[in-house]
Amino acid sequence: MDRAPRYLTLAVFLAGTASAAAETLDDPAKSYLNRFAVESPFTGIIEYVSDDYSRVEGQRIFSSAQPFASGGGATIKFGGIKVNLYGVSACPSDAPIQVFIYQGPCNGALPQYIDTELSLSPIVICRAFKKYAELAVQDATCWSLYTVGGAAIVHNVEEALLKVGAGIATRRDDGSLLRPDLADAEMFADRAMRSGLVAYDRRHG
């Protein structure tokens, strides 16, 4: 395998057992997501993976006539399960901001952008560790088959949300990123802030 997937970073922090030497799963490609296309307009998949992120050990598939939606904060709701987008947090402030097309309280930007992302994504796939499969809220990373202008691309949802400045990268008490692999997405948002596309520094609440 040429590279370890971004989610390997998440595996290290969530499970504490993943090894860079392990044969890990690749990020899902468009062809893989298209396997889940069904008659329903929107499909959500939660894949449950082994502690070393080497194999998928179970799946839950959700079909809906309507787009899936935010469950509040940095979560996506699939039926009775909330998937928490690990490494991303909603802004803690209600100060007014402008984030591309969004204007309103800072803490409302992330749920709205999640809803927008999901409305344009006929297929969303998330990966969580199997040992968390029965929890009501499950830390995970997600990808969407995002369609705009007649084209479909697969992108990581956490990265996409950070790049538009809709949320903030979660930090540890010492200020380090919970997911260092999201550093580039945060830097992208910082550049947008300096250019005036984002009119409020969300990181400082």
pLDDT tens digits, one per residue of 130-167 = 999 999 999 999 999 988 888 889 999 999 999 888 88
Q: Are 76 and 126 in contact (CB under 8 A)?
A: yes
Strand segments, DSSP code E, in the chain are 42-49, 56-64, 69-72, 75-78, 81-85, 88-89, 96-99, 102-105, 123-129, 137-148, 151-156, 168-169
Q: For residue range 28-68, what is the model confidence (pLDDT) as tens digits?
A: 999 999 899 887 899 999 999 999 999 999 999 999 999 99
- Across all residues in the chain, what is the average pLDDT? 84
Other CB atoms within 10 A of residue 127 CB: 24
Name the pLDDT band for 22 (thresholds 50, 70, 90). low
The Cα–Cα gap between 125 and 34 comes to 11
What DSSP string describes 15-67?
HS---TTS-PPPPPPHHHHHTT--SSSEEEEEEEE-TTS--EEEEEEEEESS-
SS3 166: coil
Rounded to two decimals, the pTM is 0.83
Per-residue model confidence (pLDDT) at position 194: 62
pLDDT at 124 over 90: yes
HSE-CB for 100 with a 13 A CA cutoff: 15
CA angle 185, 3, 16 (to 5 degrees): 75
In terms of DSSP bridges, do strands 56-64 and 69-72 run parallel, antiparallel, or are they unpaired? unpaired
End-to-end CA distance of the chain: 40
